[in-house]
Amino acid sequence: MNAAASTLWDTAVAIDGLRFGWRGSDDACLDLPHFSVAQGERVFLHGPSGSGKSTLLAILAGVLVPQAGTVRIGATDVAALPAGRRDQFRADHIGFLFQQFNLLPYLSVLENVLLPCRFSLRRRMRAEAASGASARDEAQRLLARLGIGPELSVRPTAQLSVGQQQRVAAARALIGRPDMLIADEPTSALDAASQRDFLDLLLAESTFPGALVMVSHDLRLAAPFDRSVAMADLNVARRHIGAP
Amino acid sequence: MKTILLLAWKSAWSRRFALGLTCLSIMLSVAMLVAVERMRHGAHASFAASVSGTDLVVGPRSHPVQLLLYAVFHLGAVENGMSWDSAERIAADPAVAWTIPVTLGDSHRGFPVVSTSAAYFDHYRYGRHQRLAFAAGTQFHALFDVVLGAEVARRLGYSVGDRLTLSHGLEEIGHAGHADRPFTVTGILAPTGTPADRTLHIGLEAMQALHLDWHGGAQIPGVAIKASDLAKFDLRPTQVTAVLVGLKQRAAVLRVQRLLPARLAEPVSAVMPGAALDQLWRLTSGVEGVLRAVAALVLVVALAGLAAAVLAGLNERRREMAVLRAVGANPSHIFLLMLCEGLGVTLAGSAAGWAAVQLAAWSIAPALLAHFGLARDIAAPGPTEWLLLAAVMAAGLFVSIVPGWRACRLSLANGLAPRT
């Protein structure tokens, strides 16, 4: 226990004995004996579609609950939290980036970025602390760093290009310095040139002492990450399509 | 909660066209429901207002509703009359403060003629114990004077000093007429919202004089009494249709109702107007019930439309749910979001529907006041209206639970990657 406790401080994610199967199916689609991410580490997780990447991310975010195993984010086993606390934990500690359609079309750019601060007091206070003023200023600052000027930030999100939308989504995931950033193929809706730009921005901005886990099927994007992990090496489930 | 309300509002606003249509259908159905309720209440109130000052209606033995409808509202018919002797005995009763004898039978261009005494103008009360007021002229004094109700004067264009003749019976175009006995308009009443507006009032003696040379519903052939000779005859009435009675003490009404008929030489009915009206409303409650049921059915359709609209929208909004879940919303937030939307649309629709009825009531109130005197009853919300609106809101809440629950389920089952 002592050894485990000492490692908790420098482990951002520690998954042990995780098993997950969709309801109505007997076979587990995820069977993951062990996976860990160190504090501050940026991990690139790759695998073909259907290899369970998105499911793993949803489990990390505490949206899906595994049938067995522990999923530690920092010191908390999110799999063991009651549903309400799990949702609050996600709001407080995790920034999430989707492949596309990240934004609520009926909110302005700025309102979209500030959304996590509405669901998490911790994120709002951290955003205020970061800007020294209001969370709004911090949102503006993040947007500016990501190349979205103030003239864009009051626009309806539908008027932005896909690349701009992804950068707004990145600002939203980053606001209030969450302990962990989870990105589910955030660049796949972008063209090759924008992919590099976006990834560079994302990595440059996520310098807080948390972890970044990004999944993609595109191995060309793996270079700037600290570590690259194949889903096939993690997941030992029999139905796993990408198994060698 | 503030966040949820804000999100619900902004989300709904972005879909305002579709939701607006749903809102409109709820508005129309609520307006229909409220209007039916208003009219029902208005009709009841205006009937009650016509007899508000009358404690008893005494007339020949007949069904209470029939007697009341004929004597006060001039609807239907009562076969026989009551003797003048009985009318005088009623007036002499120590418990009785005043009596208004009324006799019906003649008409003028479709409007009923009531022959009555001067007591009518002194004692008849309507609405909140209001007295009859003259818009022009005075009550009748000479034998062939007539006082017109407000609507009679307005519709037929009469003013004080005009001359007119009556027809025998209530037919629109009576071939049997009283053309030989012209009447002079001496007064026109202010609008009351009671049957008085649609009535011509003449004296009891005038009615007697008109029918001196009549027998069995036709003029006796060869007998024509000159107007100058009428004074030689006894013009005291022999019969009246009914007597409206005001008591000295209203509390004594049950006792008087029971004892009065026994003191008379003929069988009579003594009717409490309120009780008779209650009987009448029980007769018409079936029709009212059907109207209400139709209105309620329309509302059910509108609310089902609301549930369908919100449910259909769920599929397109799975992304929205996933994003909200990702930033930390829990399933109960999603449920509340749906609930707020359904409730908001119901509330907006109900408020708009009620407001539409209220606006319509206000805008037609002056016309109703002038023509029927109904304004007060239509413009004020009826006592059951708030209950009705509360029931609509409860139904809206119930209906919104369905899509809310479904959204909740979807957001739980799909995780963050909705299968599109």
User: Which parts of A146-218 fold into alpha helices (H)?
Assistant: 150-153, 162-174, 192-205
Chain A residues within 8 A of B326 when measuring between CB atoms: 61, 63, 90, 96, 98
Residues B2-41: tens digit of each pLDDT? 888 888 888 888 888 888 988 999 999 999 888 888 888 8
Residues B107-140: tens digit of each pLDDT? 888 888 999 998 899 888 887 788 889 998 888 8
Q: How far is B407 from chain A (nearest CA, A)?
A: 15
Q: Which residues contact B2 (CB under 8 A, 6 or more apart)?
A: none
DSSP B203-263: EHHHHHHHTTTEETTEEPTT----GGGGGGS----SEESEEEEEESSGGGHHHHHHHGGGG
| Domain residue limits at A92 | 39-64+83-234
**Residue A190 domain flag:** yes
Q: Are A61 and A41 in contact (CB under 8 A)?
A: no
Total-model pTM: 0.74
Size of interface A-B (CB pairs under 8 A): 74
Answer yes or no: do B416 and A119 touch at CB < 8 A.
no
Q: Are B96 and B87 in contact (CB under 8 A)?
A: no
User: Which parts of B317-384 fold into alpha helices (H)?
Assistant: 318-326, 331-371, 375-379
Q: How far is A1 from chain B (nearest CA, A)?
A: 31
Of A55, A87, A172, the CB nearest to B330: A87
* Distance separating alpha carbons of residues A45 and A25, to the nearest angstrom: 25
Q: Which residues pair with B145 in a beta bridge?
A: B184
Q: How far is A136 from chain B (nearest CA, A)?
A: 16
Answer yes or no: do A90 and B326 touch at CB < 8 A.
yes
Give the best residue of B327, B330, B335, B408 to mutate against chain A (max A CB count within 10 A).
Answer: B327
Question: What is the pLDDT confidence band of residue B173, given thresholds at 50, 70 and 90?
Answer: low
- Give residue A12's identity as a one-letter amino acid code: A
DSSP state of A107: S
Judge residue B317's burial from the number of C-beta atoms within 10 Å of its C-beta, 0-12 exposed, 13-18 middle, 19 or more buried. Answer: buried
User: CA nearest B196: which of B52, B382, B79, B40?
Assistant: B52
Question: What is the pLDDT confidence band of residue A2, given thresholds at 50, 70 and 90?
Answer: very low
Strands B56-60 and B268-271, how do they pair?
A: antiparallel
Answer yes or no: do B14 and A106 touch at CB < 8 A.
yes
Say whether pLDDT at B97 is over 80.
yes
Answer yes or no: do A98 and B328 touch at CB < 8 A.
no
Strands A180-184 and B218-219, how do they pair?
A: unpaired
* Predicted-complex ipTM score: 0.85
Say whether pLDDT at A208 is over 70.
no
DSSP state of A108: B
Q: How far is B8 from chain A (nearest CA, A)?
A: 10
Instruction: Report in angstroms the alpha-carbon separations of B138 from A210, B141, B411.
Output: 98, 9, 79
Answer yes or no: do A103 and B323 touch at CB < 8 A.
yes
Question: In the structure encoding, which two tokens stand for residue B58, read together?
Answer: 């005494």
- Give residue A53's identity as a one-letter amino acid code: K
Q: Specify the DSSP element, H or E, that contains B130.
A: strand B130-131
Say whether pLDDT at A244 is over 50.
no
User: CA nearest B41: which of B303, B387, B351, B383?
Assistant: B383
Q: Measured at the alpha carbon of residue B377, what is the angle toward residues B374 and B381, in degrees to the nearest 5?
A: 145
- Across B392-411, average pLDDT: 87
The CATH number assigned to the domain holding A173 equals 3.40.50.300
Give the best residue of A22, A54, A71, A96 to mutate against chain B (max B CB count within 10 A).
Answer: A96
**Residue A242 domain flag:** no
Predicted confidence at residue A18, as pLDDT, reads: 86
Predicted confidence at residue B171, as pLDDT, reads: 60
Chain B residues within 8 A of A87 when measuring between CB atoms: 325, 328-331
Which of A201-210, B69-78, B181-190 is modeled with the greatest confidence?
B181-190
Tell me if chain A has a CB within 8 Å of the CB of B325: yes
Predicted confidence at residue A26, as pLDDT, reads: 64
Domain ranges of chain B: 2-47+285-413, 52-279
- Across A126-150, average pLDDT: 85
Chain A residues within 8 A of B323 when measuring between CB atoms: 98, 101-104, 115
Answer yes or no: do A64 and B415 touch at CB < 8 A.
yes
Predicted confidence at residue B116, as pLDDT, reads: 92
Q: How far is A3 from chain B (nearest CA, A)?
A: 32
Q: How far is A21 from chain B (nearest CA, A)?
A: 12
Instruction: Report in angstroms the alpha-carbon separations of B250 from B54, B102, B121, B255, B304.
Output: 10, 21, 20, 10, 52
- Give residue B360's identity as a one-letter amino acid code: A
Predicted confidence at residue B216, as pLDDT, reads: 63
- Give residue B126's identity as a one-letter amino acid code: Y
Residues B276-332: tens digit of each pLDDT? 989 888 888 888 888 888 888 888 888 888 888 888 888 778 888 888 888 888 888
| Site of tokens 């707004």 | A168
Of B14, B323, B330, the CB nearest to A102: B323
Answer yes or no: do B326 and A96 touch at CB < 8 A.
yes
DSSP B137-179: E----STTEEEE-HHHHHHHT--TT-EE--EESS-TT-SSB-T
**Residue A69 domain flag:** no
Chain A residues within 8 A of B328 when measuring between CB atoms: 87-88, 90-92, 116, 119-120
**Residue A228 domain flag:** yes
B129: phi > 0 → left, psi -120 to 50 → alpha, else beta; which?
Answer: left
Q: How far is A113 from chain B (nearest CA, A)?
A: 10
* Distance separating alpha carbons of residues B276 and A48, to the nearest angstrom: 85
Q: Are A14 and A70 in contact (CB under 8 A)?
A: yes
Predicted confidence at residue B416, as pLDDT, reads: 65
Tell me if chain A has a CB within 8 Å of the CB of B315: no
Question: What is the pLDDT confidence band of residue A156, given thresholds at 50, 70 and 90?
Answer: confident
* Distance separating alpha carbons of residues B116 and B98, to the nearest angstrom: 13
Answer yes or no: do A61 and B14 touch at CB < 8 A.
no
Predicted confidence at residue B347, as pLDDT, reads: 93
User: CA nearest A28: which of A241, A237, A244?
Assistant: A237
Q: How far is B397 from chain A (nearest CA, A)?
A: 24
Q: Are B22 and B306 in contact (CB under 8 A)?
A: yes
**Residue A189 domain flag:** yes
Chain A residues within 8 A of B327 when measuring between CB atoms: 91, 96, 115-116, 118-119, 172
Question: In the structure encoding, which two tokens stand for residue A61, read together?
Answer: 């975010």
Number of domains in chain A: 1
Question: What is the pLDDT confidence band of residue A240, given thresholds at 50, 70 and 90?
Answer: very low
- Alpha-carbon B109 to chain mean position: 24
Question: What is the pLDDT confidence band of residue A7, given thresholds at 50, 70 and 90?
Answer: very low
Q: Are A167 and A205 in contact (CB under 8 A)?
A: no
Answer yes or no: do B319 and A101 touch at CB < 8 A.
yes
Answer yes or no: do B326 and A105 touch at CB < 8 A.
no
Chain A residues within 8 A of B324 when measuring between CB atoms: 104, 115
Chain B residues within 8 A of A83 when measuring between CB atoms: 330-331
Range of lowest pLDDT (A79-83, B135-139, B408-412):
B408-412
* Distance separating alpha carbons of residues B370 and B253, to the nearest angstrom: 34
